[in-house]
């Protein structure tokens, strides 16, 4: 299966990935709507937060609205989602996101759009078995 992987030491925190993500999925550049987040630490270092496709959210979801597709990607069936955001609270990576304009949460589906334009190769799509 594929997933978004990272080499955080290459990250310059340009946050281009955030803009690309929110633009792709929500038609606006707004990091609050991005499924990848760059958190800049106090000492300047950054961390990259995105779904690792671990599936904890799938176990938690009361509506069974979260499933794993044949490529191993964890996806949300919006029509089944009841908007409780239990998945947001329980995600071990803090990589399930929520925005008040939407009833359902959102997450990285390893589409790779952001990785293609990352200037330093800090993020990339990897295949894992």
Partner 1 sequence: MSVEKLKEKHRLLAQFQYIPGKVEKGYANRTLYVNLSENRIAEKPVSQEMKEKFIGGRGFGLKLLWDGVTGNTKWDDPENEIIIAPGPIAGITQYPGAGKSYVVSLSPLTHTVIDSNVGGYFGSLLKFSGFDALEIQGKAEQDVIVFIDGVNGTVAIEEASQAVVNSHILVEQLTEMYAANEEDKVNVSVVSTGAAAEHTLIGMLNFSFYDKRRKAVRIKQAGRGGIGTVFRNKKIKALVVRGPRIKGDLNHPADKTLLDKAGIKLHKEIATLDNSQNKMRIGGTTYLTKIMNDYDILPVNNFKFGSHPAANNIASDAFIKYFNLTGHDGCWYGCTLSCAKAINAFELKTGPYKGQKVLVDGPEYETVAGVGSVCGIFDPEYIIENNFYCDTYGIDTISFGTIMAFLMECYENGIINKEITGGLELNFGNGEAAMEVLHQMARGEGFGKIAGLGVRRLKKLFVEEYGADPAFLEDIGMEVKGLEYSIYLPKESLAQQGGYGLTNKGPQHDEAWLIFMDMVNNQIPTFEDKAEALHYFPMFRTWFSLNGLCKLPWNDIVPANNRTTAEPAKIPEHVQNYVDLFNGVTGMNITKEDLITQSERVYNFQRVFNLRMGFGTREHDQVPYRSMGPVTVEEYESRQERYDKQLKEKVGFDPEGKTTEEKIAVLRKYREDQYQKLCDAVYKRRGWTENAVPKLETLERLGMDFPEVVEVVKKYL
Contacts with partner 1, residue ranges (CB under 8 A): 58-64, 81-86, 88-90, 98, 100, 103-104
By C-beta, is 14 or 84 nearer to partner 1?
84
CB of 80 to partner 1, least distance (A): 9
By C-beta, is 36 or 66 nearer to partner 1?
66
Instruction: Compute φ and ψ for 85, nearest 5 degrees.
Output: 65, 20
CB of 81 to partner 1, least distance (A): 8
Residues 65-104 as b or e (16 or more Cβ within 10 Å = b): bbeeeeeebbebeeeebeeeebbbeebeeebbbbeeeeeb
CB of 61 to partner 1, least distance (A): 7
- Cα 33 → chain centroid: 10
By C-beta, is 16 or 47 nearer to partner 1?
47
CB of 96 to partner 1, least distance (A): 10
Going from the C-alpha of 8 to that of each of 23, 49, 120, 128, the distances in angstroms are 23, 10, 10, 19
Instruction: Compute φ and ψ for 25, nearest 5 degrees.
Output: -100, -25
By C-beta, is 65 or 108 nearer to partner 1?
65
């Amino acid at each position: 299966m594929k997933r978004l992987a990272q080499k955080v030491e290459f990250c310059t925190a340009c946050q281009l990935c955030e803009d690309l993500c929110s633009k792709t999925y929500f038609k606006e550049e707004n990091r609050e709507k991005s499924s990848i987040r760059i958190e800049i630490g106090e000492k300047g270092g950054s961390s990259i937060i995105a779904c690792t496709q671990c599936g904890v959210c799938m176990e938690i979801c009361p509506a069974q609205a979260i499933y794993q597709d044949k490529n191993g990607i964890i996806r949300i069936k919006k029509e089944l989602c009841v908007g409780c955001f239990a998945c947001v609270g329980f995600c071990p990576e803090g990589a399930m996101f929520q925005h008040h304009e939407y009833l359902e949460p959102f997450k990285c589906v390893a589409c790779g759009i952001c990785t293609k334009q990352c200037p330093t190769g800090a993020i990339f799509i990897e295949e894992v078995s």
